[in-house]
Amino acid sequence: MSSAEKPSSKGQAWFCTTGLPSDIVVEVDDMTFHLHKFPLMSKSRKLHHLITQQEAATHSSAPQQQQGTEDEDEIVEEQCHVTFTAFPGGSEAFEMAAKFCYGVKIDLSPSNVAALRCAGEFLEMTEDYSEDNLVSKTERFLSQHVLNSLKDSVKTLKSCDSLIPMAETLGITQRCVDSVVSRASSEDPALFGWPVSDVTTASKQVLWNGIDGAGRRKAGAGHGESWFEDLALLRLPLFKRLILAMKTAELSPEIIETCVMYYAKKYIPGVSRSNRKPLPLPSSSSSTVATEAEQKELLETLVSNLPLQKSSKAATATRFFFGLLRTANILSASEACRDALEKKIGLQLEEATLDDLLVPSYSYLNETLYDVECVERILSYFLESLDARNVTSNEDPAARSPALMLVGKLIDGYLSEIASDANLKPEKFYNFAISLPDEARLFHDGLYRAVDVYLKAHPWVSEEERENICGLLDCQKLTLEACTHAAQNERLPLRAVVQVLFFEQLQLRHAIAGTLMAAEAAAEPGRQSAVLEREAEEDEEGLGLEHVQEGNGTWRVAVRENQVLRLDMDSMRTRVHQLERECSSMKRVIAKFDKSGGSDGRGGGWRASLGRKFGCKFKTQVCDSHESTAVDTRKGRHHQQPQQQHHPHHE
């Protein structure tokens, strides 16, 4: 076709300007094509058959009509008309096929090759009808280009959405699915991006040897992200089919999970705080955001396809799954859907944050502000998975697991948050607190903080419930600072205060014993220095003058350290004797108090009298429940006191 024979489009009509009047009109969807018979008939058996059939019908009806002029016969010939109501690929695919018939070079791409392959099949543009025809041309492009590329296979698979069932009949869909599965299995997992970008973390990356490591990772992840993004454009039935094929081929759970997460991020609202407005579902008939029922179906489908293994990027994935869980609660998703998400989170609970655990209670059946039962179930799934891991790895069950310690600290923080909820029943608080194994808490300071907050927010609980809740605490696991605070805590029952004072006394004795051992160890270098000094005096002309000077310095340091240690020991001995006297006196007062039976045990009468009698005025300070040491020097205590005075839970 020469430059003067270019096609042109006017509104909904398409003309081929060859200089000759068109002798056939083809209607496809809402577009009308004014073409010529010969180019179409030379490449398409179907059009040849339809045109020949129409011409034969026209000639057979001609004798019954009145004979007209030649001009009238030409007008009759122009009335050849063909209509295609369900042409594969629509008017765009027919336009490219028509250009191919006219000899115009067409640009094949992964997005249009499937439509042109179906169009060629529909128009019967095969090799046995005409050499180098459209069917063979598109088949070569599919096999040599599209199916050799993961990204191109995904794009072609996306185009098959609107070509069903012909693309299915021709095997294009299945070939693309097989190509994606086989090539995805050989992809490097390190190149896979994650649908939730952590901008904060990326911005904190430090240059290493002058190279931006975060930038290199971002550039590398671009290849992986590109085909995941294209995959998320598939309609749900085709996406489910692809995920099923991946599972059948036993692809890496990481690949399958990333595919599902990209799809969820794109179409489910609320899964990430940066994406509150989801895109419309990939449907050819709808451009509006999916209805609540469609979102619920989509969520349940995606969750059912999540692998059951622990995620490779557990920290990011856990935050994402909590977002899905909140959405599942809002949409009232099925119990199986929510249970699957809770189990998935339970596998990697140590990666969660306190903010993740604060799942709002959306059901009117729950009185509490947060969904405590949901977190209880997640914790139980975590403990089950931890037991399974210990059995698999033959680890000692009594050994402290780092993951369990992290979860212990997390749960104690969660208890402190929910403790202020006025609707949280004492038995619910108690049962949740004891659901954590003893090995998860190295110290009970965090649990004490939660108990203190609960008693402060629930002053109306009975004395029996108060003692039951305080029974959660193991006073032997309270640090010295926590004991000091608890000893003057008016919210604690009398029995708990006595226990605290007793164990505080034991801790002080242990601290003194440790101080004495440290003093003896510090005295050893001093004695060695004295020996060196005497040897140096006997041989002043020797080579040990520098060693003598060093020995003198070490001796002076040791003497000063011993003086400080003696002062500390004297102070601690005085404190221990004072506590022993107070404890003995308190026992006598309590015995008299029990005999007289004059108060309910909760008021300030006995506590005030004890305070006046023993002068229990201690500094209040509570350490973190997972500090590595419980011994604090006087200097460290003075340093930490101002910080504790502003603690919101210990007024």
Encode pLDDT of 352-410 as tens digits.
999 999 999 887 777 889 999 999 999 999 999 998 887 776 666 556 789 999 999 99
More confident residue, 1 or 249: 249
- At residue 36, does pLDDT exceed 70? yes
Q: Which pLDDT value is given to residue 154?
A: 93
Q: Which pLDDT value is given to residue 535?
A: 55
With bands split at pLDDT 50, 70 and 90, how would you rate the model's confidence at 191? low
Q: How far apart are CA 133 and CA 130, in angstroms?
A: 6
Task: Render 145-214 in DSSP notation, one character per residue.
Answer: TGGG-HHHHHHHHHHGGGGTTHHHHTTHHHHHHHHHHHHHHTS-GGG---SS--HHHHHTPPPBTTB-HH
Q: Is the peptide bond before 165 cis (omega within 30 degrees of 0)?
A: yes
Domain spans of the chain, in order of start? 12-57+79-148, 379-520
Q: How far apart are CA 383 and CA 411, in angstroms?
A: 13
Q: Which pLDDT value is given to residue 337?
A: 95
More confident residue, 239 or 617: 239
Q: Distance between terminal CA atoms of the chain? A: 91
Burial class (CB in 10 A: 0-12, 13-18, 19+), 339: middle
Contact 323, 272 (CB under 8 A): yes
Mean pLDDT score, 185-213: 47
Q: Which residues contact 381 (CB under 8 A, 6 or more apart)?
A: 342, 343, 345, 346, 347, 349
With bands split at pLDDT 50, 70 and 90, how would you rate the model's confidence at 138? very high
- At residue 273, does pLDDT exceed 50? yes
- At residue 432, does pLDDT exceed 90? yes
With bands split at pLDDT 50, 70 and 90, how would you rate the model's confidence at 588? confident
Q: Using one digit for the tens of pLDDT, what is the confidence trace for 496-546?
A: 777 777 666 766 767 677 676 776 666 665 555 555 555 555 554 444 444
Share of the chain above pLDDT 70, in %: 62
Residue with tokens 């095997």: 171
Q: Across 70-79, 269-278, 594-603, which has the greatest mean pLDDT?
A: 269-278
Q: Could you give the C-alpha distances from 257 to 231, 353, 369, 382, 585, in angstroms and in order?
A: 13, 21, 32, 20, 66
- Paired with 32 in beta bridges are 13, 27
More confident residue, 418 or 289: 418
Q: Which pLDDT value is given to residue 593?
A: 61
Q: Which pLDDT value is given to residue 320?
A: 92
Backbone angles phi, psi at 34, to 5 degrees: -100, 105
More confident residue, 187 or 632: 187
With bands split at pLDDT 50, 70 and 90, how would you rate the model's confidence at 294? confident
Strands 81-84 and 24-28: parallel
Q: Which pLDDT value is given to residue 435?
A: 93
Share of the chain above pLDDT 90, in %: 36
- At residue 247, does pLDDT exceed 90? yes
Among candidate residues 291, 242, 232, the one with its CA nearest the CA of residue 262: 232
Q: Which pLDDT value is given to residue 370?
A: 94
- At residue 597, does pLDDT exceed 60? no
Among candidate residues 57, 55, 58, the one with its CA nearest the CA of residue 37: 55
Mean pLDDT score, 149-175: 93
Q: Which pLDDT value is given to residue 288?
A: 57
Q: Using one digit for the tens of pLDDT, what is the confidence trace for 443-472?
A: 888 998 999 999 999 999 898 998 898 888
With bands split at pLDDT 50, 70 and 90, how would you rate the model's confidence at 479? confident
Contact 480, 509 (CB under 8 A): no
Q: How far apart are CA 626 and CA 122, in angstroms?
A: 72
Average pLDDT, the chain: 75
More confident residue, 155 or 391: 155
- At residue 601, does pLDDT exceed 90? no
Residues in the chain: 651
Q: How far apart are CA 302 and CA 289, in angstroms?
A: 18
What are the start-end ranges of the H helices in 279-371? Answer: 292-304, 314-330, 335-346, 354-357
Q: Which pLDDT value is given to residue 70?
A: 46
- At residue 420, does pLDDT exceed 50? yes
Among 172-176, 278-282, 324-328, the minimum mean pLDDT is found in 278-282
The letter for the amino acid at 569 is: M
383: number of Cβ within 10 Å: 18
Burial class (CB in 10 A: 0-12, 13-18, 19+), 369: middle
- At residue 324, does pLDDT exceed 90? yes
Q: Which pLDDT value is given to residue 396?
A: 62
Among 154-168, 234-248, 446-460, 470-484, the minimum mean pLDDT is found in 470-484
With bands split at pLDDT 50, 70 and 90, how would you rate the model's confidence at 635? very low
- CATH no. for 12-57+79-148: 3.30.710.10
Q: Which pLDDT value is given to residue 647?
A: 42
